Every structure is written in C-alpha cells, then in structure tokens.
Structure 1
Amino acid sequence: MKGNRYVTVNERERVIWFYKGALQGILGPGEHKMPNDQEQLVIDRLTLEDAAVPWDYEKMLFRQLPDQAAEHLTLFQTGPEELAIVERDGRIENILYPDDKLTVWTDAGPWKVELITLDDNPFIEPALFSRLIKSGTAEVMDIVKTVQVDNGQIALFMVDGEIFNELPPGHYGYWDLRQKVVAKIIDLSRQPLDVNGQELLTKDRVTIRINLSAEYRVVDPVKAVTEVKDFADALYRALQYAFRKTLGAMTLDQILDKQVTVDAEAAQKVRSDMAAIGLEVSEIILKDVILPGEMRELLNQVVSAQKAAEANVIKRREETNATRSLLNTAKVMADNPVMLRLKELEALESIAGKVDRLTVNNGTSGLMNDIVNLTED
C-alpha cells in the first residue's frame, strides 16, 4: 500500500527500525506493517547467532526505549574486582574482565552468568578450569594460563616475585590478570652436568684442557631457586673453580699419575657449597686430561725412550742368562765324559738332519777330537 511497507522477521532474527531518522524500536518474529512515506523507513536485520548487541544500538535502546530494551536485551556487568563467566545453552560464550559489560539478545539464550571475585589466590577451581579449556574461546585463552607438571617434577608458583605455592605433578590453571605470575618447573630427578674443554695452567706451567662430569639432583627446590639465579650454572662454576684450584697446584706428572685422587680432593668443596643451595652432588669425575699437540709428541718420545731402555735391559739380562747357562754346561761336560759323549751324538744328529750324505772317517769316537783339531789349525 502507498506509504507503508511490510517487513517479515524470521525466528532467528531481530530488526531495529528507524523512521524519519529516529529510533522506533525492535521487531520480533512475524510480519509487520511499517510506515514508509517517502521511503524514510530504515531497518537493520540482526541475527541471534551473533548474540552480542552492537554497542551503538545498545546505548540508544537502553536510553531511549528502556521498556523494549528490558524485554529483548540482557545486560551482564562486572565490578572492579570481578570476572564474569557468561554461558549460553550450557556452554561458555564469553568472559568479562573487571569493569566490563556485555549486552546480548535475551532470546539467543538461555543465558547464565557466574561472577568470580578476584583475590590474592590466582588458581582456578579444577572443574571450572576444565570447562574453560574445553571452550577454547579467544577471551578464555587471553586470561587463562596453564601449568603442566610431569612426574618427577615440581613447580614453584610465584606471584609478584614471591613463592605462593609448590605444585606436585598435575595440570593447573590460573588467572593472568592483575598479578605477575610465574611457574618455574624444576626437575627432581638425577641429572648429568658436563664441563668440557676447560683450559688451565699446571704448577710446571703446562697448559692442559680437562673434561669434567658431575651428577646432581635438586633436594630443596625453594633454596635452589631463591639462593642463586641459576643453580645449574652455579654448579658449573663451582666445578670449574674447584678443579682449577686443585690441578693448578700440581705438576703434569702428578695429574697424570693421580687422576682418581684429584676427584676426591675437589669433590668435597663442591658438595658442601652446593648443599647450601639445595643441590645434592653424587658423582664427580675428571674424565679427560688433554695435552697440547707439541706436549703430546714430547711425552710420546719420553715414553718411547723409556720403553726402548726397558727392552735393552731385558735383552742384556737374557744374554747374560744364556752365557751363564753355556758356561755351566761346559763345566758339566768337562767333569763328565758321558755327558760329553751325549752332546757329540746330539751334534751329529743335528748335522745329519741337514745334509743328504754324511761320511765319518775315524769313527764316532774321534769325531769331536778331529773337530777340535781343525778349529785349532
């Protein structure tokens, strides 16, 4: 009809309409006959799927049409020390920060709100934390932080720089809003620490490099975190200092001869210092002593010369023993003709085994005498 317009609103829609530039109201589901002289009717269709009402409409509706606003809109609001968990159809739709508000279409619900008063305890109750994580909304992820503590670990939970709690293994959530919250995970199991390539000068001014290894575990997490900035770095430096001091007072020969005792001398100092910061050091090993190239060559030459001298001594000792044995044999044969005869037969047997034919002119009785005479001639 002239001057009018019919507007149909679906069940999941709402329409805000203006006529001659003025806000007129909210249209619910159904067909509506609206004035439209000179095409001055303006409508804005809003879907209930987008539950939040645009902020510019929200202000106008509550100020100019409070009755219609109360019928169609629901306002959620928080105080300066509150959070609000807004649920829609039993699922978390949004989280309101302190001094925040949210206006939604009432018919987009059903709606439910849970107000949470913020205090010094930032932890989130486990059931609520589980629901917040499952929601996965951007608002939740912005202010809800998680801490995962595995078996063999402990977490020191610090609020504004002070230790608030010690957390055993588990999954925890906390509000990350007004306070500076840090969760420091500490492994309580035994751990290795290697100190490699440490250069030092021995008492006889030889530069060597050493490799150390230690095994430790944290027995007092609070001390380990509060007494030093980094307990692993503190142990590293303690090992460096202890071994530099101990080995620097020894010559190279002493170090090479006493690697095992060096560990015992240095370990006691390290263990007592680390116990003061909550660490238990169980094993300290001097794994390697590495010499510079020219020193290795010199040492190899010394070892080679020592071994050669030892070999010569052994050789001379064996030659002396052999000569002494021959002398003793000669004395026995001089005093015992039967023994001499046996030696003659052994010599003859040895010679016969090396030639094809042997001719004996004077008989075996004179064989040795002929040999002696030939030697004298």
Structure 2
Amino acid sequence: MKTIGRMIGFDRVLIRENERAVALHKGRFMGILVPGEYWLRNARGTLQIEVHDLNDPEFVSSFDDALFRVMPDVASEHLTEIRTGSMEVAVILRDGRFFSVLPPDGRTVVWTQTGPWSVERFDVSETIEVPRDAAKMLRRATKHARVVQAEITQNQTGLLYVDGEFVRTYGPGAHLFWDVGRKVDMRLIDTRWQSVDVSGQEVLTKDRVTIRLNVAADYRVVDPVKAVASVQDFYETLYRALQYAFRKALGAKTLDQILENKVTVDDEVANKVKSHMAEIGVQVGEIALKDVILPGEMREILNQVVAATKEAEANVIRRREETNATRSLLNTAKVMAENPVMLRLKELEALEQIAGKVERLTVHSGTNGLMNDLVSLRD
C-alpha cells in the first residue's frame, strides 16, 4: 500500500497522540491534523507538513498569523489566542497553575487541548506592584514570571524607583513588581544606628605642630528619601564633614589647648556637623575625638615636661610634709615644757619601747631619775 501510494503521488502521514500538525498543499492550508494516519497527495513535493509536539503547549510557527487569518474556524478549534492591552499584564494559568506572564501589547498562542487555560488580567497604568494574591503564586516562579522581587528586612526602608523616578517608600516584607518594559529598582536604606570612623586625619595646630586624629561618630538615617535625594552618598558626606570640621576647629588651637580641652573641642565641632547632616535627613549622635597622636619627637619632649612637672610637685609635697612634721614637734615640745605630767608620760612610753627590745632592764635612783641620771642596759 505504501509503495502504491507513492507511485500514484500520495505520502503516508502519521500523527501521534501527543502531536498536532499543520498541513499545506501547494502552499495552501489544508488544516490541522489530529492523531491518526493520513494519505495525502504529494506530487512533486507539493505537500508540506509541520508537526508540533504538545509537550510544548505554546504554538510557535511561521504560519501563525496566516492560519488565524485564512482558517479562523480551524484555528479557534485547536488553538487559544491570548492578547493584552497597552497597559495590561496577563497571568496565564494552565489547569489552575501558573504558566507564564504576558506583558503589555503581548500575544501568545497555545494548544487548546493542553489546557484547560485561564487568564487573570492586571491593569498596570496606576501601579506596577503585584497584588498580594497574585504575589503568592508568582513568588514561587520568579524566574519565569516577569516580576522583580524585593526583600526588605527589619530596620530597613525600601525606596522604589521606576525608570529612574522615585515612586514611594516600602516597609519590611517581600514585595513584587511587574517587569514589563520599565526599569524597576528598589534601593534599601538601613535605618539603624551605625558608626563612622575617621582615622589618621592630619591637622596642623596653631603652634605649627602636626598631629593625627582618630574621630568616631554615631548616625542613623531618619529621612531616607531626603538622604538619597540630597547627596550621592550620605555616608561619604558625613565622613567628609567630620574631616573638615575637626581640621578647621583644631587648626585654630594650640597643642596645649587641644590636649587640655578635648571634650570642649568635641562640643564645638559636633554642633556644626549635626546641623549640616540634619539638613539631609541624617541624625548624628555622639561624636568623639578618640585619639590625638603626636610625632615621636614631640612625645619625648612632652614626656620630659611631664616628668619635670611631676618631680617638682613631689618636691613641693616633701617640703610641705617636712614643715608639717617640724611644726608638730615644736608644738609637742611646748606642751611638755608647760605640763610636767605630759613629759612624764613620754618618759614612760620611751621606757616601754626600750623594755620590749632587751632581756633585762636595771633602773637606779628610782623612776625620778630615769631620764636624768643613769639607765643601765644589760644582756
């Protein structure tokens, strides 16, 4: 039969259950072939068969538009066409499960037999944020869903920009946006207290001594929109503000003033920095001048000065104590001279101290002559 068919100009065409075929004879549509065996005229190669595997539900063919135009009834019987408007997004569901997203002004054709198919449409003329119900379904298929996902954690604020233009702020949570020909960017701003360190900042003091400073400050962003819109990098702005403020303030003071009044210097600089940063939505907390590092030669000189100062203070204290001791002895002598009983008590105290240091003590002439005559100490 196969040989006879070919001899008279017919070809055998076999369409399986998982296949469909578009048939053309002499360049004209014959229709869509369903599963089965066909003997079709193919004189001199005039038969053209385009086989489609239904494992791929989408109908992709160069004859797509022509088939709907020439044979609309046949096309509508086997194919489902889905279109979207200029400001519309469609979520295509296959058997109730997510299949794909069709962007604005989009079109796709699927094989009806691979369904059932359903479509959910969303208007993106007002907002590109994905509704909560749809987001749950799309979040599991973000690779194929034409959406942009933004995860905002606690203590963060999200700033949404569409085509470079700020739209609004978002709080913590997972947010999805339609990726439909617009550039969607979510910038995350941390609103917690953070620290900035300015290390090794060199300053020339009023008395021409070069010192290095280490400055630390705490800050947090209280107005993310203003902080991002006002400057390119608010962290860098704070860093430079600390640099310039301390350099200007300390450059007008001598080394002794800086070393003696570090807290006062901090207060003078802090108000300027805080006021400047508040204008761009950044709150600055504590500012501290952590270290003042001197050149090696200057450290040796200062150490010598400190040592000499402390030595002088020690001499003054020793002289003061010697004077106090002498004055105390003079007062004691006056009391004894005016009070014989007190002198007697002192003699007895001396006797007690001596007796505690020897084995035997011999006293002649009684106690009256103890201090006036003779005291014999024997081993």
TM-score with structure 1 length normalisation? Answer: 0.79
Specify whether residues 307 and 22 from structure 1 end up closer, same or farther in structure 2 by C-alpha distance, changes over 3 A only: same
Which residue of 353, 357, 377 maps to 1:354? Answer: 357
Pair 1:32-2:1 in alignment: no
1:139 aligns with 2:144: yes
> Structure 1: 5+ residue runs without aligned partners?
373-377
Does the 8 A contact of 1:91 with 1:135 survive in 2?
Answer: no
1:164 maps to 167
User: Is the 8 Å Cα contact of residues 191 and 216 (structure 1) preserved in structure 2?
Assistant: yes
Measured against aligned partners, the alpha-carbon deviations of 1:297-335 in whole angstroms (never above 9, x if no partner) come to 433333333222222222222222222222333344445
Describe the shift of the 1:151–1:330 C-alpha distance in structure 2 as closer, same or farther (beyond 3 A).
closer
Number of residue pairs the alignment of both structures matches? 367
Partner of 1:287 in structure 2? 290
CA 1:253–1:85 in 2, change beyond 3 Å: closer, same or farther?
Answer: same
* 1:147 aligned counterpart, secondary structure: strand
Is contact 2:249-2:269 (8 Å) kept?
A: yes
Structure 1 CA distance for aligned equivalents of residues 232 and 374 of structure 2: 96
Question: Whole-Å Cα distance in 2 between the matches of residues 94 and 346 of structure 1?
Answer: 111
Pick the aligned partner of 1:213 from 193, 200, 216. Answer: 216
What is the RMSD of the two structures over their aligned residues, measured on CA atoms?
3.7
Residue in structure 1 matched with residue 131 of structure 2 by the alignment: 125
User: Higher mean Cα deviation, 61-70 or 265-274?
Assistant: 61-70
Instruction: Give 1:145 shift.
Output: 0.7
Identity %: 55
Cα pair 2:92 2:100 within 8 Å, conserved? yes
1:51 maps onto 2:57 in alignment: yes
In structure 1, what is the equivalent of residue 197 of structure 2? 194
- Tell me which amino acid in the other structure corresponds to 2:244: Y
Alpha carbons of 1:346 and 1:25: their partners in 2 closer, same or farther (altered >3 Å)?
same
The equivalent position to 1:89 in structure 2, one of 89, 92, 95, is 95
The whole-number CA distance in structure 1 between the counterparts of 2:219 and 2:345 is 77
Rounded Cα–Cα distance in structure 1 between residues aligned with 2:90 and 2:334? 119
How much has 1:126 moved relative to structure 2? 3.0
Is contact 1:195-1:213 (8 Å) kept?
yes
Residue 148 of structure 1 corresponds to which residue in structure 2? 151
Contact 2:90 2:102 (C-alpha < 8 Å) held by counterparts: yes
Amino acid at match of 1:225: V
TM superposition shift of 1:265: 1.5
Q: CA offsets, 1:39-93, max 9 Å, x none?
A: x999776442211234246478668866544432233345665544322112221
| Structure 2 letter corresponding to 1:287 | K
Q: Normalising by the residue count of structure 2, what TM-score does the alignment of the two structures yield?
A: 0.79
**Partner Cα separation in structure 2 for residue 296 and residue 371 of structure 1:** 64
**Which residue type is aligned with residue 263 of structure 1?**
D
Matching of residues 1-80 of structure 1 within 5 Å: 1-2=1-2, 3=4, 11-15=17-21, 26-29=32-35, 31-32=36-37, 34=39, 46-56=52-62, 58=64, 68-78=74-84
Residue type at the aligned position of 2:310: K
1:229 to 228, 232, 236: 232
Measure the CA separation in 2 of the matches of 1:308 and 1:280: 47
Q: What is residue 326 of structure 1 aligned with on the other side?
A: 329
Unaligned runs of 5+ in 2: 6-10
**Is 2:104–2:180's contact at 8 Å kept on the other side of the alignment?**
no
The amino acid across from 2:115 in the alignment is: G
Residue pair 1:352, 1:358 contacting (<8 A) in 2 also: yes
1: distance between equivalents of 2:176 and 2:129? 6
**Residue 183 of structure 1: aligned partner:** 186
CA-CA distance at 1:11 after TM superposition: 4.1
Using the TM superposition, name which of 298-307 and 61-70 deviates more: 61-70
1:268 to 267, 271, 290: 271
* SS state at 2:20 partner: strand
Match of 1:305 among 308, 316, 333: 308
Q: Which amino acid aligns with 2:56?
A: D
Structure 2: distance between partners of 1:152 and 1:343: 80
Q: Secondary structure at the match of 1:146?
A: strand
